[in-house]
Structures are given as structure tokens and as C-alpha cells.
Amino acid sequence: MRLYTPLFLFCFFFSLHVHAQENSSAATLIRDIYSNWFNDRPFTYQECDTFFYSDKVDTAIINKVKANFLADKEFKEWDPDQAAYVKRKTRFTLEERKYIVAQLDLIKGMKWPAKMFPFAFMIPLEKVDPLLIKTDQSKLKPQQKICMEVHHFSTPIFLRNNTLCFFYLGKSNIFSKEGAFWIYEKIDGEWKRLASIYEWAVANKGKYEKEIEFFNLP
């Protein structure tokens, strides 16, 4: 799951909620779902004129992230050159772990506002699945159905003087759902994926007749 180009709107939004230093890091890290959608739209999503996002991240997902984080005292690091996990591992102190757990609990109660971006529409999380089912069963053209892709993202959690960041990014559409909670490390002024805490993906049960199950990638 990749990161995207920066978006000034995130910088503005986070300035209302976090300290200035974290605000700058958040604007740099998120880089950004909306901007990517907007820039790719003329080429990939010709008929997509609305950016859909949920008001929050599913509490069940955050609970699984929390459980994984508490269960493991170290996390395999990701090597982008090898496109694989390596033997190096990231570890956290007891105080750091307590802080991350407390921040994850705060994310459960956090909600994004409506009209965060131009051409954007916020959908309450509990209405996402019914809306996707309705869209799939509608008489809309296939391209229009594909446009109904809902993005899910959390507020970033910073650690170690803003050199590490914990962030969740996911999406839902008529075919599937997926998401990943990664640790990012700031290297030479840029955020790089460091380690995965939790990843999951499911197929649309109605389309593929498969049970919806969460799973962790190795």
C-alpha cells in the first residue's frame, strides 16, 4: 500500500488538532489519498467525480491492531529493495507501548468531518456496506459502480520525536475491502514503510460466495 503526494488540506485540518511539529509531519506523511484520486481521475476514473471517505475507522479493526501490537514485542522490518520482510526487527519500550495503546483507543472515538476536500463526500461507516450493496445491484454502468470506492484512514500517531509514525489506510468497493496499519520511519526527510502491525483483505461475499474473514499477512 503506497503513500501519495502531499495535500495542504491535511496540514490545515491537523493544525486544528495537533502540535505544529506533528502537523508538519502529518502533512508530509499522509501524501495523500485525495490528491492521488484527483490527479489520476482523468486517466483511470473518467466518470468518477466524487471522492468518498468514511467518517471513522472500524473499531473492530483498531481492536485487532491493538491486539497484535500487544501480542508482539517486536515487528519484522520491511525492505523495499527486496520487497520482503527481513531479519531486522523494531522494538518498543513499555512506556512507548502504553502510549500507542492509549492513542489507538482515542482513534476509536475520532470522526472526520464532512466536506474535508473539494468534490468529496463523507459516508458514515455504518452506511458504507449497505451503500456498496445498493450500488452493485443498481443499473449503473460498470464504470460508475467502480467509482463507488470508499477510503478509510486514521489520524497518525507519532513517536520518538516524530521519527516514527503509526497510520491506518484502507478502502472498500463493490469487489473487496482491504486495509493496513503500518509503522513508518522518517529517513532523510521522507517517510518510509518500516513494519506492518496488521493487514487484512476480504472478497465481497455476495460476489464470490466467500466468508468474510480478517487475516494477518506474514
Q: What ranges do the domains of the chain cover? A: 8-208
pTM of the model: 0.79
CA trace torsion 21, 30, 56, 96 (10° rounding): -50
Q: What are the backbone angles phi and psi of residue 155, rounded to the nearest 5°?
A: -75, 145
Spell 35-44 as b/e; 16+ CB within 10 A means b: bbbbeebeee
Of residues 178 and 18, more confidence is placed in 178
181 by Cβ neighbours in 10 Å (0-12 / 13-18 / 19+) ranks as: buried
**Confidence band of 73 (pLDDT split at 50, 70, 90):** confident
Task: Say if residue 12's pLDDT is above 80.
Answer: no
What would the pLDDT profile of 92-126 be if each residue is shown by its tens digit? Answer: 999 999 999 999 999 999 999 898 888 889 999 99
Q: Give the rounded percent of residues in the chain with a pLDDT score beyond 70.
A: 74
Residue 21: the pLDDT is 56
Phi, psi for 130 (deg, rounded to 5): -60, -35
137-183, pLDDT tens digit by residue? 999 888 888 889 999 999 899 999 989 999 999 999 999 999 999 99
Please compute the mean of the pLDDT values over residues 44-62 and round it to a whole number: 86
In a 10 Å sphere around its CB, with 0-12 CB exposed, 13-18 middle and 19+ buried, how is residue 177 labelled? buried
3-state SS assignment for residue 180 = strand
